[in-house]
Every structure is written in C-alpha cells, then in structure tokens.
Structure 1
C-alpha cells in the first residue's frame, strides 16, 4: 500500500506543471495579440494624422492658387464669381472638418475625394483665368490697333478739314468781287439839285465813287453788300452815329457807309455817293471799298 501511493504523487505534480505552462503560453499569446493590436491601432492613428496634415497642406496650396488667380485684376463674369464663391465655401468646410480631431476612415476618404474635386475645379478655374487673360491681351492689342487707326483717321480727317478750310478760304477769296477801275469825284450840290465837280474843300458836299468790277466767273451773281471806309486828312475814320461793325480780311472794322450793288459779271459801272455830314477839310482823303469779307479796292482824292 505504501508503494502504490508513492507512485501517484509525481504524476499530480506533472499535471500542475503542464497547466502552468499552458496558462503562461496563453498569457503570452494574449499579450502578443494585444500588443500587435495596439500597435496596429497606433499605426492607424498616426497614418490618419499624417493624412490629415497632408490634406491641410493641400488645401493651403489650393487656396493660394485661387488667390493668385484672382490677383490679375481681371473683370470676372458672374459665373466665374459664383464658381469662386463655391470653391471658397468648400475650402472653409474642409478646414472645419479637419479641425474636429481624429477622422474615421470613411470621413477621411470623403475629405480626400472633396479635395480631389476641389483641386480639379481650381485647375479648371485657373485655366479659365489664363484664357481670360489671353482674350484681354488680344482685345487690348485690337483696341490699341483700332486706337492707332482711329488716331490716324482723325489726323487725316483733321488734315483734310484744314485743307478744306484753306481751300474754302481760297475759293471764298477768289469768289470775292474786286474793282477793276476806281475813281473819286468831289461834288457840289446847288440849291436846284444840280451837281458839279469841284476841287475845293469849302465847296464840296459829297464824294462820288465810281468803279467797275473785274471779271470773275466764280463770283456769285446777285446782290453784294459794299462797305465804304473814308479816312480824313487827319487820319481819322469818318463814321456815322448808327455805324456797326463788319468783318473783312479776318478783322472786325467800322465803316463809313454801307450800300449794295447787283453783280452780273457784265462789266457794269457803279456809282456810290457819300454825303459828308460835316464840312470837308483840306487835304487828302483815303477811300476804301470792301465786299464779301475782303478788300475790294481803294483810291484817294485831294481837296484844296
């Protein structure tokens, strides 16, 4: 009996040892599982954090490109303004999502897709801006070319206008009637109304200017105003109280007497009588005729 009991005791000790070994192995396995699980989770958190930082950097780049595209001082269309506003709203939304903290794998994938679409949009938007720049450059070139053409045409038109004015002036001057011959006769008027030629200032009452008009085929036929200017021996222009101004040779002047003649380019002789409202002086009188804005002719007469 004693021998049998001694044989069973070592067997029980062996079972305990095996059990302990199994427990130890199980603990080691559990620890290894938990270690690798935690390591994988940590790796995943690190990966998500790195991807979050990368996306933030990408958003910064996209926004910088958008700002650069808008620094060209271009006048954007309403559609481009709306597209830019949508892009900036999306950038703001993505920044808010990334600031919330750790993202799930699904949220990360969604954010990555949004950034990809945003990148595509900004690339297209930048291309549209570049195309708009090219169009504006072309328009500026066309505008400058057109402006040059307009300036050239304006300069030519100004030259033509100046030439026309000069030509009109020449034609007007050529069309103005001129005297062919002119003479002045001092006259005495008797009580009977009879007129006689005199040479003395004391007896003269009026001057008769006799002239005919030189042949002029381009002069206008019909009535022409004649302005008479008489300078007395003292060098003073004789004017009446109701005298107004007229223009001749681009100068405004007063006149002594105004009348009119009918011109037919037929060599007709005209007489213009001027009665002196005052007494004549001894000396020489200068008599000048004007018509059509130009000097027509002049002569002198002396009285004793």
Structure 2
C-alpha cells in the first residue's frame, strides 16, 4: 500500500499550530519568569523595609537614652531632637505603605543615614555636655568647700578676735594697787582732822593707787563707790545706778579721775547721809563695768 500523501493545505495548518504552540509556551515562560522576578522583588523590598524600620528604631532608642539622662538641655539641643523625632515619624509613615518604590526606599535610606550622622553628632554634644556638667559640679563643690573653709576660718578668726578682745578688755581694766580709808571731821577753821570714833566722824576719805597697766586707756575714767555700813547695808541713793560685773547696781558716789599710768594717787571723799555707827565700813570701787578692789575702816 502506498503511503498517504499530505497535501499542501494540511501542511500549512500543521506549521501554524506549531507556531501557535511555541508562542504559547514562550508567553507562559515569560509570564512565569516575570511573576517570579516580581515575587523576588517584593521579597527584596519587604526585607529592605524591615531593615530600614529597625534602623529607625535604633535611632529612636538613642534619642530616648539622652532623655533618660535627665540632663538640662539647652534650646538648641531640644530643637534638634524635636526635628529628628519629626523626621523619624515621617519615615515610619512612609515605611508602613503597602506599596513603595525603589526610589522611595533609596530616599528613606538616605534620610536614615542623615539621621545616623545627626544622632552621632548629637550624642557627641551630649557627652560634652555631661563632661561640662561634671566639671561645673566639681568646680562648684570645690568652690563650696573653699567657701566653707573660708567661712570656718573667718568664724574661727572672729572667735579668736572676740577672745582676744575679751582678754585685752580684761587685761586693760583698772585694778587697785593699794587703798586706805580714813574718817575725818572738819574744824571751824576749815582744817580736816582724822578721827577714829564714829561719833565724831563726818566723812570718809578713800586714798588709792592703781596697778600700772600699759593696756589701760589713758584719760578720764569714771570711778563708782559702793559704801556698806557695819550691818551690811548699802548706803546709796535709789536713783544712783550703774552697770558692773554684768548687772545693774546702785552706787553711793562717783567721780572722774585722769588716769595716765604714772602711779598717781587719787582721793575720793564721801559724806555719810546718816550718822556713823561703830563697826567696820567697807568701800568697793568700780571702773569700766569691773570691780577695782575694796578697802575697809573700823570706827570705835
């Protein structure tokens, strides 16, 4: 049997079918590889977004660390941090978009690099601020310590001066070197006559000298007398008052003397407002608020 011959028309149909099948296979292959590339590109973009999100979070953590230090930031640093946080929020919003182009990713990446540089410089400023604060604190503490030392020294010096002044004041008081008392009466001729009987006595005369003292102030000194009778009664006017030995007292009589530290002898006469009685009369002398000394005389 002879083989069946294929006519020209059928052959053309076969060629056409082969071409169509080949085209379909090529199209499917193209679509497959294109879809695969898009899938890979989506995975790459998604991974890049996650990477950028992580970088943004790291930057935000660095800024939070600064706030945790509780430093007193100046207006410039506060403003810079505010701008950085605004940029971070913008990047977060951009990275949350479902669709983002490679160009947008590149832009975000560049902005994040800028933020990294900013945060590094920002942290350098914070570190310097901490150093400055430590230096200022140490300087302040040192100054306070120095001021305390100066204050303590001044206080000690003041106390020493007060003690010295008190010692000088104590050392400069007038003290009796010796003193004697005599009783006398005045004759009609005006002559004074010493007596020893209370019945004839009219006045007491106190004669005294003062211990030489280079520290004592020269010039006028007010001398106060307090006279006590044999019964211990103070013979003084109620209105005559002065201060001595830290308390207010009454005095019997007072005079001014001119002290020149020259061993001069001073005399004070005192008239008894009452008749004298038998016994020992005591006279205590005061000057400058201090006791000078005392003397006594016995009348028969």
Indicate the TM-score class for this superposition, using the shorter chain for normalisation: 0.7 to 0.9
Match of 1:254 in 2: 249
Asked if structure 1 preserves the Cα contact closer than 8 Å seen for 2:52 and 2:109, the reply is yes
Structure-2 separation of matches of 1:92 and 1:279: 112
Shift of 1:68: 1.0
RMSD of aligned Cα (Å): 3.0
Shift of 1:200: 5.4
Structure 1 position 13 matched with structure 2 position 10: yes
Query: What SS is found at the alignment partner of 1:210?
Result: strand
Match of 1:174 in 2: 171
Match of 1:39 in 2: 36
Deviations 1:81-135 (A, max 9, x none): 2222222222222223233432222221111111111111111111111111112
Cα–Cα, structure 1 residues 231 and 132, in superposed 2: closer, same or farther, change >3 Å? farther
- Pick one of 68, 91, 111 that aligns with 1:114: 111
Shift of 1:152: 2.7
Aligned pairs, number: 297
Asked if structure 1 preserves the Cα contact closer than 8 Å seen for 2:238 and 2:250, the reply is no
Query: What SS is found at the alignment partner of 1:288?
Result: strand
Structure 1 position 269 matched with structure 2 position 265: yes
Structure-1 separation of matches of 2:233 and 2:58: 92
Shift of 1:199: 4.8
Structure-2 separation of matches of 1:66 and 1:166: 61
Asked if structure 2 preserves the Cα contact closer than 8 Å seen for 1:286 and 1:299, the reply is yes
- Pick one of 160, 185, 191 that aligns with 2:182: 185
Structure-1 separation of matches of 2:276 and 2:87: 105
Asked if structure 2 preserves the Cα contact closer than 8 Å seen for 1:231 and 1:237, the reply is yes
Structure-2 separation of matches of 1:237 and 1:94: 103
Match of 2:283 in 1: 287
Q: Structure 1: give runs of 5+ residues left out of the alignment.
A: none
> What TM-score does the superposition give when structure 1 sets the normalisation length?
0.83
Structure 1 position 104 matched with structure 2 position 101: yes
Cα–Cα, structure 1 residues 80 and 202, in superposed 2: closer, same or farther, change >3 Å? farther
Q: What is the 5 A alignment of 1:77-226?
A: 77-187=74-184, 197-199=194-196, 206-226=203-223
Structure-1 separation of matches of 2:234 and 2:38: 120
Cα–Cα, structure 1 residues 225 and 93, in superposed 2: closer, same or farther, change >3 Å? farther
Asked if structure 2 preserves the Cα contact closer than 8 Å seen for 1:180 and 1:212, the reply is yes
Runs (4+) off by over 6 Å: 189-194
Q: Structure 2: give runs of 5+ residues left out of the alignment.
A: none
